[in-house]
Structure 1
């Protein structure tokens, strides 16, 4: 009861906070700013080749993002174990194979568990796969009655029939429109998804979930430079990849990590933190994801840190209304993923996420991909609607709102086939 009351107060504060923010949606009101060069070190040294990037520039950029933005993971797990809960060779009316795998992460004699739901093409092995979190439980992505309903804490939602922070059968299939499962299977990929609340509940209370496993005696919250929820969700992505490395049904060298909105932010940090991923997709990730922070367009650092104080490390709060002091920007987050292909996607009506800022981030990251002879984005002029760029640094903007659509998935499937060279 205490947690429910605490979170209700938090939501009220967030709602009041949004009303107080002076949000800019006018391009003419974007102030001039200095965008840091990915190929110039903090000391001013120019980077001209892969060796210099790998030995000098990338380590200092990663250290900055790790200590000042997303937060460090304070140690390693004691163990991780995997258990096959259920499988079926004729799921989705005979169109797919279904697997449900429980992952247990343990440290300091404590553990958390999460379930990976997988749909795989029939009669295939070593399948390339898209991996993505869902917001309201694995059972919401499909009408399949055999998909397990999680018992983890959930955000209340009238639309999703969730009250008392408990997921329910009534929400089965209600987010199916965001997961083009049949298109993914027809494209030669499998789909793996996890309810993100099983990794870390999305509330301003870091006493549960993954963080709590790593606390020292009497510690109640992460240190100033230690991980928030975004880094915990990124850690969960990597833990799923650990499982795929021992599952013969999946090709672990061809796992593309995907995320929408806040989970797009987590996907980008996962790709920067763990270079085993074969591709990274950011769908409308906005502030703290792909969008340039220094533009201060739509959602800003101050807004996101005030409304969601648990997402980033506490050090990041020093940049509230102080983007000028930030020695990096989000295009450099994308460069940390290089040479792994990365795709950034925007929606025309999603000005809160700053589509232009997302595009410019991809454009400015392309210089680092060029070091690896990977084709990026050649011009700083945004493409027209529905004219995707399918290069190692990919991008599209579509009509519509903050969501995931079939059009998005059609681009991701085509792009992944191209950059992973699956149809050669």
Structure 2
């Protein structure tokens, strides 16, 4: 399905050197691409793991009719501008005798998705299905890290960790980067939990949460598997030639999501030194799954799929098979290679049980094989 869009060459280093090996990619090009995305799109984060951070965990042993253990985790941290916390809800299969693989959802649909009592079960996060298949189900509300409105970056983790004296740099991190940062703090906790196999944690996101999941997976290689669902513009979809939402549209409607520099590319996509296939390439050689919805023209499924095909060049450096050189699939006909997978689901912009089942199918076969 390769079309005629002229994309930046992700295997050409800034020095002019052609990248031909995985070693060259790791030593040179991967970091160059990360820094280009920081500078021109997502912004440079002003904090990594906080020096002051603690986990407050409450355990309930019998949930979901006895099939699961519930853990409610409060991730607390402090910085120069004060203190904050991110709430994470985690269900573990009661029958899991070894540390469990886990799916972590960066939830952008509010606290109703995260009902700890499971009185209101949302298909958006079908924890019961994950438990039944032997996976731990973790979720956090991204707005705990940074509320989704623009107040000049005074709220959330920006207010806690940014220097507030003087003018904010045009390359400073935005809200999507703050949400990705929250995913890494959840991973900090999961590494400490003896019930979780931290080497088999997937990060998942839908729409704006999918943009954050991709950026989290690019920055934090502890995530063993990265899943993007309907992430569209500045997510999985290539920007050059994209239908539906454009860089101008997203910057005008959500000026806080990305850095100031990104706004200089409104109606100038062809001048960006990166495109989204390069973001997907940063996941290599780890497993990557991209999903679309047939009626989601704003996200543009074909541009999401094309981006995944172009990312195959990075996977080849590692000797890994990835989807490439194939046509756009019919709905409900998922495609999978050794390291990359894709499906388009019939319907609207949403995250459904069908999507989750395909993510777990891929994990079963390719990413999280049981010990």
Deviation at 1:93, TM superposition (A): 2.0
Q: 137, 152, 158: which is aligned to 1:211?
A: 158
SS of corresponding position for 2:71:
strand
Structure 1 CA distance, aligned partners of 2:257 and 2:106? 16
Aligned to 2:232: 286
Does residue 341 of structure 2 align to residue 394 of structure 1?
yes
Partner of residue 140 from structure 1, selected from 87, 90, 113: 113
**Is 2:143 aligned against 1:197?**
yes
Return the alpha-carbon distance in structure 2 between the equivalents of residues 338 and 365 of structure 1: 8
Structure 1 Cα separation of the partners of residues 329 and 164 of structure 2: 53
**Which of the two has higher C-alpha Rg?**
1
Q: Paired residue for 2:55, among 61, 82, 106?
A: 82
Partner in structure 2 of residue 160 of structure 1: none
Equivalent residue number for residue 25 of structure 2? 53
User: CA-to-partner distance for each residue in 1:323-344, whole Å, 9 max, x for gaps?
Assistant: 1111111000011111111110
1:297-338 superposed Cα distances (whole Å, 9 cap, x missing partner): 110000000100000011111100001111111000011111
Corresponding position: 1:299 with 2:245: yes
Q: What is the Cα deviation at residue 217 of structure 1?
A: 4.8
Residue 419 of structure 1, CA deviation: 2.3
The aligned length equals: 365
- Cα distance in 2 between the residues matched to 1:192 and 1:128: 11
List structure 1 segments (4+ residues) > 4 angstroms apart after TM superposition: none
CA shift digits 1:81-110 (9 cap, x unpaired): 1011x2211112222111101001211161
Q: 1:422 corresponds to which residue?
A: 369
Deviations 1:155-176 (A, max 9, x none): xxxxxxxxxxxxxxxxx72x61
Q: Secondary structure at the match of 2:311?
A: helix
Q: Alignment RMSD, CA only?
A: 1.8
Asked if 1:69 is matched to 2:16, the reply is no
Q: Distance in 2 between matches of 1:60 and 1:114?
A: 31
1:17-416 aligned at under 5 Å gives the runs 33-76=5-48, 77-84=50-57, 86-108=58-80, 110-124=82-96, 125-142=98-115, 144=117, 173=120, 176-205=122-151, 206-218=153-165, 222-391=168-337, 392-416=339-363
Provide TM-score, normalisation by structure 2. Answer: 0.94
Aligned partners of 1:138 and 1:193 also within 8 Å: no
Q: CA deviation digits over 1:3-37, x for unaligned, max 9?
A: xxxxxxxxxxxxxxxxxxxxxxxxxxxx9641122
CA distance in 2, matches of 1:128, 1:269: 21
Separation in 1 of the partners of 2:79 and 2:114? 31
